[in-house]
Amino acid sequence: MNPCGATTGFFVLGRCGRAAVTVCRCGRQICAEHADQQGLCPECSGAQGYADPYRPGWARGFRRSYYQRSSYDYGDPNLYTGYDIYDRSGFDQGDDFAIGGDVDPDSGDGGWTDS
């Protein structure tokens, strides 16, 4: 039996593990429960509803256009046009000095609002 590779759970994640009935285009084995009508896994199926944000250069281009549009909408060209290099320089990846602040991309850590 090939186990279904879909991620399940909310606060505690795991693998589905049911018997797979199809293979998603990403190569993942999927059970009948987790396959959508096109035979896609939840990850590929979920991504379909949105523009693909993971193409190269997406973040920068989309961000700029969004902030330009929003600054136009609210009539404030300064507030929402983003931060300049001096603003950003204080938030570059930190070192030991920035305890708790050296947010690395792997951790996906927002870096605040800890309880």
Partner 1 sequence: MTGEAPETQASPAGPPEVRAAYFAFDRFPSTKGSAVHIGQMAAELFERFGGGLLGVLGGGNLPRYQWEPGSGIRIARFGERIPNLIDRAEAYSAWVAAHVAPHVETLRVCHVRDPWSALPVVTAPGRRYPVVYEVNGLPSVELGHTWPLAAPATLARIAELEDFCLERADVVVVPSGVIGTALRRRGVPGERIELVPNGADVPPERPRPDDAPESYLVYAGALQPWQGLDVLLRAFARLADLTGLRLVILSSVPERRARALRRLAERLGVEDRVVWRFTLPHAEVAAWLAGAAVSVAPLTGCARNVDQGCAPLKILESMAAGTPVVASGLPAVRELMADGVHGRLVAPDRPAELARAIRVLLEYPDAARAMGERGRRRVREEFAWAATRARMATIYRSITSNSGITR
Q: Which is nearer to partner 1, 27 or 73 (CB)?
A: 73
CB 114 within 8 A of CB 101: no
Q: How far apart are CA 102 and CA 98, in angstroms?
A: 6
Site for partner 1 in 26-65 (CB under 8 A): 33-34, 36-37, 42-47, 49-51, 53-54, 58-60, 62-63
Query: Is position 109 an interface residue for partner 1 (rule: CB under 8 A)?
Result: yes
Query: Is position 81 an interface residue for partner 1 (rule: CB under 8 A)?
Result: no
Q: Where do we find the tokens 């759970």?
A: 9
CB of 79 to partner 1, least distance (A): 6
CB of 110 to partner 1, least distance (A): 4
Query: Is position 75 an interface residue for partner 1 (rule: CB under 8 A)?
Result: no
11 DSSP 8-state letter: S
Number of neighbours of residue 59 by Cβ within 10 angstroms = 11
Residue 26's identity, in one-letter code, is C
Alpha carbons within 13 angstroms on the beta-carbon side of residue 53 total 8
Strand, helix or coil for residue 3 = strand
List of residues contacting partner 1 (CB under 8 A) = 7-13, 33-34, 36-37, 42-47, 49-51, 53-54, 58-60, 62-63, 66-67, 70, 73-74, 79-80, 82-83, 86-94, 96-115
